Amino acid sequence: MTATATNTPSASTTHGLGAALRRFGRKLMITRELTVLSSIPSHLVDREVITARQKALCDEFQAL
């Protein structure tokens, strides 16, 4: 009698899960960076630089 792996996920399922986890992780990192950027005192960094970075992060978040 041989054992068969009936509960083994297919390669496409594993790949899809990995991609979903990477997107989730990236969204968490974007959220963290946005939080940090919003807490930087305006006298330390040019607001235009922060605003541009926040917009880029929001666009990337929406694309995910």
pLDDT per position as a tens digit, 17-33 = 999 999 999 999 999 99
Q: Which residues contact 27 (CB under 8 A, 6 or more apart)?
A: 61, 64
Contact 37, 53 (CB under 8 A): yes
| Residue 26 token pair | 């990236």
- Residue 58 pLDDT > 90: yes
pLDDT at position 15, please? 80
More confident of the two residues 38 and 7? 38
Helix axes 11-39, 47-63, angle to 10 degrees: 160
d(CA 30, CA 58): 8
Domain ranges of the chain: 14-63
| Position 56, amino acid | A
